[in-house]
């Protein structure tokens, strides 16, 4: 995906990101305000080589690591507190004890954090004093035990010197309410962004052209915006005679239908044009696919072709509104008839465009069974002799299987997908069903807005 697509995913659910940031920042703020103030006291201890010597100085630096382990020891902490006459809990002191050391210096720093500044100062001084006493005693043992080859006592030792005697601080170091709140907001933003991508991944809806093409593995032949149709107050259900190709020829939607017409024409050679096309929506609502079928048929008619528009959605027909007279037997009666007479086509308001209405389905007959009869293929081909282009509109897949009987009989099948509405799983299932029956899939028309 391109960066702008990732941004579009986040912006589409911006409220999730902001809500997560607000909740996290609020939680961090409330938590910080409930915490007691904490104070920090530090004492520096220096390891000095005596007498001054290069190698002994290196030894002193190496000893600092072991000194840190000696200080961060429960027995040492308990003994230091006892010597200083403090009744602090050694475990609690260890929990607030930190040791810091610069690798290039001979200094180790004891840091004590506590909610009581006086107690923090007493504990820090007690630990430092106790370690100085312990180091001095260790030096005495070394001098008494070890001697050089000439029988002289070893003179080199490492002396620990306490550099600071801190008092109780007046300014707490925590809680850092502002910093914690800001950090909570940042973490909330990150979490919110992750949530948007998780929702996008699991959301069963097709949105962008790239998403649709990647999911179905089909080319997006055209993208058509429905915003103009909505603003004009018309809809397919209420007014199927609203053909933007004819009534709003300069609109972006009309241009999109002309582009769709050109794309379909280019996919076939002049010797074998796509004379019989099937338009099929995905889901349960045939409104969008009916609008595409009507306007595509009008686009071919405006270009000078003789076009027959067939309403094969016998379940919830919509295209019959294009004709003023719908009393003809229609598609259902013609397919059910035993005679080979041509169907009665109805005129529309668009020159060159005729309509074969749905008709009345025989009682007890399922549309899929009617379309699956052997004579259906012959009769559809007979329709192509009556016009330059025949466009058939069928009930949507995979809710209804009518299109599966009609699709293999056509020159091409165009799927209609509505951005943000068409379920991804339904689109994948519809494509798989069409492929299993050998339908010649042309691509997808994506409706947006």
Is 19 in a helix, a strand, or coil? helix
Picking from 138, 162, 186, the residue at the C-terminal end of a domain is 162
32-63 per-position pLDDT tens digit:
999 999 999 999 999 888 777 777 777 777 77
Same domain? 328 vs 392? yes
CA dist., res. 65 & res. 225, Å (int) = 70
pLDDT score recorded for residue 392: 96
CA dist., res. 155 & res. 389, Å (int) = 110
pLDDT score recorded for residue 147: 61
Question: Domain for residue 219, yes or no?
Answer: yes
Radius of gyration of the chain (CA): 42
Neighbours of 192 (CB within 10 A): 22
pLDDT score recorded for residue 365: 86
Same domain? 293 vs 438? yes
Question: Domain for residue 191, yes or no?
Answer: yes
pLDDT score recorded for residue 149: 58
What mean pLDDT is predicted for residues 171-188? 94
CA dist., res. 27 & res. 428, Å (int) = 43
Cis, bond preceding 51 (omega within 30 deg of 0): yes
CATH number at residue 118: 3.30.1890
CA dist., res. 73 & res. 81, Å (int) = 12
Question: Domain for residue 56, yes or no?
Answer: yes
Instruction: Using pLDDT thresholds of 50, 70 and 90, give the confidence band for residue 229.
Output: very low
Residue % of the chain over a pLDDT of 90: 58
CA dist., res. 194 & res. 9, Å (int) = 11
Which of 6-10, 59-63, 98-102 is least confident? 59-63
Same domain? 156 vs 282? no
Question: Domain for residue 278, yes or no?
Answer: yes
Retrieve residue 151's tokens: 């029988």
Query: What is the layout of strands, in order, in the sheet containing 346-347?
Result: 220-225, 441-448, 412-418, 276-283, 389-398, 307-311, 353-356, 346-347
Q: Write the burial class of residue 372 (CB in 10 Å: 0-12 exposed, 13-18 middle, 19+ buried).
A: middle
pLDDT score recorded for residue 235: 41
Q: Write the burial class of residue 263 (CB in 10 Å: 0-12 exposed, 13-18 middle, 19+ buried).
A: middle
Question: Domain for residue 171, yes or no?
Answer: no
What mean pLDDT is predicted for residues 158-165? 89
Q: 335 — phi, psi (to 5°)?
A: -70, -30
Same domain? 294 vs 437? yes
Same domain? 308 vs 336? yes
Same domain? 79 vs 54? yes
19-29 per-position pLDDT tens digit:
999 999 999 99
Same domain? 191 vs 328? no
Is 281 in a helix, a strand, or coil? strand
Same domain? 180 vs 87? no
Residue % of the chain over a pLDDT of 70: 92
pLDDT score recorded for residue 314: 93
Spatial neighbors of 284 by CB under 8 A, at least 6 apart, are 396, 399
Whose CA is closest to 37, among 167, 127, 169, 182? 169
What mean pLDDT is predicted for residues 248-270? 90
Q: Domain count of the chain?
A: 3
CATH number at residue 255: 3.40.50.300
Same domain? 357 vs 228? yes
Question: Domain for residue 170, yes or no?
Answer: no
275-329 per-position pLDDT tens digit:
899 999 998 888 999 999 999 999 999 999 999 999 999 999 999 888 866 666 7
377-419 per-position pLDDT tens digit:
899 988 999 999 999 999 999 999 999 999 999 999 999 999 9
Question: What average pLDDT does the chain have?
Answer: 87
What mean pLDDT is predicted for residues 372-376? 90
pLDDT score recorded for residue 230: 45
What mean pLDDT is predicted for residues 190-217? 89
In the chain, the N- to C-terminal Cα span, in Å, equals: 22
Same domain? 245 vs 316? yes
Judge whether 328 and 344 are in contact, CB under 8 Å: yes
- Residue ranges in 217-307 assigned as alpha helix (H): 227-231, 244-247, 252-266, 287-302
Q: What range defines the domain where residue 369 resides?
A: 205-448
Same domain? 275 vs 413? yes
Same domain? 209 vs 196? no
Instruction: Using pLDDT thresholds of 50, 70 and 90, give the confidence band for residue 150.
Output: low
Question: Domain for residue 168, yes or no?
Answer: no
Whether residue 340 has pLDDT greater than 80: no
Instruction: Using pLDDT thresholds of 50, 70 and 90, give the confidence band for residue 154.
Output: low
pLDDT score recorded for residue 367: 92
As a residue count, the chain comes to 449
Judge whether 231 and 248 are in contact, CB under 8 Å: no
Judge whether 283 and 423 are in contact, CB under 8 Å: yes
Question: Domain for residue 397, yes or no?
Answer: yes
């Amino acid at each position: 995906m391109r960066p702008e697509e990732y941004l579009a995913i986040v912006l589409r659910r911006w409220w999730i990101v902001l809500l997560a940031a607000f909740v996290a920042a609020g939680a961090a703020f409330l938590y910080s305000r409930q915490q007691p103030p904490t104070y920090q006291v530090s004492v520096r201890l220096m390891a000095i080589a005596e007498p001054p010597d290069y190698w002994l100085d290196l030894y002193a630096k190496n000893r600092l690591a072991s000194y840190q382990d000696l200080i961060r020891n429960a027995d040492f902490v308990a003994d230091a507190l006892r010597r200083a006459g403090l009744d602090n809990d050694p475990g609690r002191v260890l929990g607030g004890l930190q040791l810091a050391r610069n690798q290039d210096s001979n200094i180790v720093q004891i840091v004590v954090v506590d909610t009581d500044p006086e107690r923090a100062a007493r504990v820090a001084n007690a630990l430092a004093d106790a370690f100085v006493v312990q180091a001095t005693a260790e030096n005495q043992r070394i001098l008494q035990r070890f001697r050089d080859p000439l029988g002289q006592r070893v003179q080199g030792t490492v002396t620990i010197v306490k550099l600071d005697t801190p008092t109780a601080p007046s300014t707490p170091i925590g809680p850092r309410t502002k910093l914690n709140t800001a950090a909570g907001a940042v973490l909330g933003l990150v979490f919110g962004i992750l949530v948007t991508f998780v929702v996008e991944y699991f959301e069963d809806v097709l949105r962008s052209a790239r998403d649709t093409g990647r999911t179905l593995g089909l080319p997006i032949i055209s993208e058509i915006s429905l915003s103009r149709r909505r603003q004009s107050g018309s809809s397919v259900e209420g007014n199927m005679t609203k053909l933007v190709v004819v009534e709003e020829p300069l609109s972006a939607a009309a241009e999109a239908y002309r582009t769709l017409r050109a794309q379909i024409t280019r996919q076939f050679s002049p010797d074998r044009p796509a004379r019989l096309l099937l338009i099929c929506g995905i889901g349960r609502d045939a409104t969008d696919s009916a609008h595409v079928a009507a306007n595509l048929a009008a686009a071919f008619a405006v270009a000078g072709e003789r076009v027959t528009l067939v309403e094969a959605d016998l379940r919830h027909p919509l295209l019959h509104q294009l004709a003023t007279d719908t009393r003809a037997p229609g598609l259902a009666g013609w397919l059910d008839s035993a005679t080979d007479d041509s169907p009665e086509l109805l005129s529309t308001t668009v020159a060159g465009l005729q309509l074969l209405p749905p008709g009345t389905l025989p009682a007890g007959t399922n549309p899929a069974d009617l379309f699956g009869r052997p004579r259906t293929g012959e009769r559809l081909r007979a329709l192509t002799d009556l016009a330059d282009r025949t466009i058939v509109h069928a009930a949507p897949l995979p809710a209804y299987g009518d299109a599966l009987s009609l699709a293999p009989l056509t020159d091409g099948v165009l799927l209609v997908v509505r951005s943000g509405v068409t379920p991804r799983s339904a689109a994948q299932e519809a494509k798989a069903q069409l492929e299993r029956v050998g339908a010649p899939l042309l691509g997808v028309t994506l409706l947006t807005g």
